[in-house]
Chains A and B, each alone.
Chain A
Amino acid sequence: MKHQLSLQIGPVAFRIGSAWRAPIDALARLYAGYPEPERVCDFTVRLEPEQPWRRWIRPSVAIQGDYILPDAAPMSLAHGLLAAEMGMNLQMALGQKTHLLLHAASVEKDGRALILTGESGAGKSTLAALLGERGWRLMGDEFALLGLQDGRLRAFPRAVSLKNGAIAVMENEVAPERFGPRLDGTPKGAIRHMRPNRLALEAMADPARPVLILFPRFGEAAAARAVGQAEVFMRLTQASTNYVSLGAAGFDALTGLVGGCPAAAIDYPDTTSAIDMVEELWAQAA
């Protein structure tokens, strides 16, 4: 590819190639300070013109790579950075075989990990990003990687994808140089990526033992309830993109996680009350 960049994010090495310079430059700025892979990359993402001539005329980006979605809609070049991020997510979701991949955010403190999972829009990214600025290490806002052999969690601290109202929340907390450009008019509304802080990057190779699972839900009065293990298991199979393909290894890893961690669902009206609830439940679990 004409322009390319290699990135090590947690245990995964990516190579991103692009027919255009702009998305690679934007990625390089956003991922400043990430290590370069020291081995062959696990996944390749390619941003290519949908039709060859569309590199020049009203450019439109198609996401290609080791794993592709055949009917993924091409995106405008202005959203090339988002296309690269989506391409990296796609490679992980479809190609990850060494870890049980949970669609969840995670943060770490004292070698122990808190897993935040829930539907899109539940606020797990924002909550994890905030905790990452307030004494916790952000392990990742999108995917939690559970080791199949040791049951420990690996960090996957790619840039946090902030959407709509969460953008201003984090702009109040974090220095401007850690943000990518604001992308308006994407399929999910406004999106702005945020680089995790130095602690998250320096410790990205350090695993953590999961000790608490939370299912946050934004927009309700503050409340917490314990969630039974069978329900947690069922929800996490739904939150995993590779549970079925891993077979017995995935079953063993997930039952081990669920059997060893208390879990609670928390409703919260604002981020302050959410963080208070998280800290309180964490103190109980620890």
Chain B
Amino acid sequence: MTGARYAADPEECVRSVALDGLWLLFHKPSGMTHIVAPPAPQILEALRLGPADAGEILARMRAWYDLEGDDAADAVEARLEELEAAGLVRRS
């Protein structure tokens, strides 16, 4: 599967705190605080290994997590678009 490739800022640019199953992210370059739900934090984690498209991101996530259901790829694509709109990932 190939598609748009995405990149995220390096780990030191984002402070991350998990609260109640949600993640609070402070994005230092923009000064913005984001509240995100899984799998968005895991997508960002996968992108720390380097730019990737949705398929590669999913493969990286499968190595770390048990992902259920057949629609995981669609969910990753949808979350990537949201993360791009929020300024947390960009197309590379």
Contact = CB atoms under 8 A, between A and B. Distances in A.
Given A230-B24, A233-B24, A234-B35, A248 B15 contact: yes
B48 interface: no
A244 B33 CA distance: 9
Contacts of A230: 19-20, 22, 24, 35
A230 to B, nearest CB: 4
Contacts of A229: 19-20, 22
Interface stretch (A118-126, A186-194, A250-258): A250-258
A259 B17 contact: yes
Interface string B6-39: 0000000001010110101010100101010000
B35 A255 contact: no
A247 interface: yes
Contacts of B26: 247-248, 251
B31 A244 contact: yes
A257 to B, nearest CB: 11
B19 A247 contact: no
B15 A251 contact: yes
Contacts of B24: 230, 233, 251, 255
Contacts of A251: 15, 17, 24, 26, 33
Interface string A174-202: 00000000000000000000000000000
Contacts of A64: none
A255 B19 contact: yes
Given A255-B19, A259-B19, A233 B28 contact: no
A267 to B, nearest CB: 22
Interface string B32-51: 01010000000000000000
Q: Interface extent on B, as a size class?
A: 10 to 19
Contact of A233 (B15, B31, B35): B35
Contacts of A234: 35
Nearest to B28: A248
A255 B18 CA distance: 9
A219 interface: no
A258 B20 CA distance: 11
A234 B19 CA distance: 11
A101 B26 CA distance: 18
A258 B15 contact: no
Nearest to B16: A255
Contacts of B33: 237, 243, 251
B28 A247 contact: yes
Contacts of B22: 229-230
A228 B31 CA distance: 24
A259 B24 CA distance: 11
Contacts of B20: 228-230
19 contacts: A228-B19, A228-B20, A229-B20, A230-B22, A230-B24, A233-B24, A234-B35, A237-B33, A243-B33, A244-B31, A247-B26, A248-B26, A248-B28, A251-B15, A251-B17, A251-B33, A255-B17, A255-B24, A259-B19
Interface of B: 15, 17, 19-20, 22, 24, 26, 28, 31, 33, 35
Given A228-B19, A229-B22, A237-B33, 4 more contacts: A228-B20, A230-B19, A247-B28, A251-B33
Interface of A: 228-230, 233-234, 237, 243-244, 247-248, 251-252, 255, 258-259
